[in-house]
């Protein structure tokens, strides 16, 4: 079947099988390998991408469900002039990753949160992020990065 959707701001059309997952299409057909595959059962969050702004587990989300929708992957977060998104920059500033395997999914989950709730409390952050696992950092530096990104993005709007 032919699959058409908007990917990181431009229209794409690819052939895909009905049983293929969005991550398979992104990683194998479109060579966007930022979304990582780990648990394959929607527990870890490493494969998170945004569909119409909402986080989904691309390891189990069927590709055809993205038909006509807007998909954002980690590769789509930088500006055209390669300036990092504030969430990306804050993750660097706060040492919010080590091996980096969870990071693309983690950052996209944060984006979905802050786009919806620009000024979250710690409880709201923790509740929202509980489906993204990280084995390296112990989460504390990620929490700091999220708080800082919220402040930076708020400042950017004012």
Partner 1 sequence: MSDDKSRDFEVVNRSVPRRDGRAKVSGRALYVSDVKLAGMAYAKVLRSPYAHATIVSMDTSRAEAHPGVYNVLRGDDLEGLNPYFGHAVKDHPLVAIDKVRYAGEPVAAVIAEDELTAYEALELIHVEYEELPAVMEPQESLAADAPLLHQRQFEAGALRGFEGEVTAGRGTNLCQEHHIKWGDVDEAFANAAAVAEGEYYFPMAYAYAMEPYVAIAEVGDDGVTIYSSAQHPFMVRHDLKTIFDMPVSQIRLIVPFVGGGYGSKSYTKIEPLASACAWKARRPVKLQLSVEEAMLTTRGDDALTWMRTAVDADGKIIARQAKIYMNTGAYAENSPLVCEKSSNRCVGPYAIPNVQIDNHMVYTNTVPASSFRGFGCAQVTMAGESQIDELAAKIGMDPYEFRLHNAARPKQEFFPGMRPFDGTLTEDLKIVAENIGWKEPLPSGHGRSIGCSASDAGAYPLTSTAVRVHADGSASLMIGSTELGQGSHTVLPQIAAEELGIPFDLVRVVSSDTAITPYDRSTGASRTTTLMGRAVQEASQEAKEQMVRMAADVLGVEESEIESVRGGITCGEARLNWSEVLTRYYKLPDGEVIGRAYIRKDKDFAQLPVFWEAASTGIEVSVDEETGKVTMEKLGTCGDVGLAINPALAEGQDIGAATTGMGIGMFEELEFDRNQLLNGNLLEYRLPRFSDMPRTVKLELVQNRDGVGPYGAKGGGEASLNSLPANIANAVYAATGARIRRAPLTPEKVWRAIRETRAARGENES
Of 68 and 142, CB closest to partner 1 = 142
List the structure tokens of 75: 């590769």
Least separation in angstroms between residue 154's CB and partner 1 is 20
In three-state secondary structure terms, 23 is helix
CB nearer to partner 1: pick between 41 and 158: 41
Q: Is 10 exposed, middle or buried (0-12, 13-18, 19+ CB in 10 A)?
A: exposed
Q: Count residues contacting partner 1 (CB under 8 A)?
A: 53
Is residue 1 near partner 1 by the rule CB under 8 A?
no
The window from 61-69, 111-119, 122-130, 149-157 that contacts partner 1 (CB under 8 A) reads 122-130
Residue 34 contacts residue 104 (beta carbons within 8 Å): yes
Indicate whether 48 belongs to the interface with partner 1 (CB under 8 A): no
């Amino acid at each position: 079947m032919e699959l058409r959707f908007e990917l990181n701001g431009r229209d794409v059309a690819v052939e895909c099988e009905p049983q293929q997952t969005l991550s398979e299409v992104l990683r194998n057909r479109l060579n966007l390998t930022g979304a990582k595959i780990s648990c394959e059962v929607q527990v870890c969050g490493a494969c998170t991408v945004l569909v119409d702004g909402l986080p989904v587990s691309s390891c189990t989300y069927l590709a055809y469900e993205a038909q006509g929708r807007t998909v954002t992957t980690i590769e789509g977060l930088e500006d055209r002039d390669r300036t990092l998104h504030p969430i990306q920059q804050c993750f660097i500033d706060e040492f919010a990753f080590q091996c980096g395997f969870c990071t693309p999914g983690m950052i996209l989950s944060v984006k979905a949160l802050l786009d919806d709730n620009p000024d979250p409390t710690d409880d709201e952050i923790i509740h929202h992020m509980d489906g993204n696992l990280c084995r390296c950092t112990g989460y504390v530096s990620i929490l700091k990065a999220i708080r800082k990104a919220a402040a930076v993005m708020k400042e950017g709007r004012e």
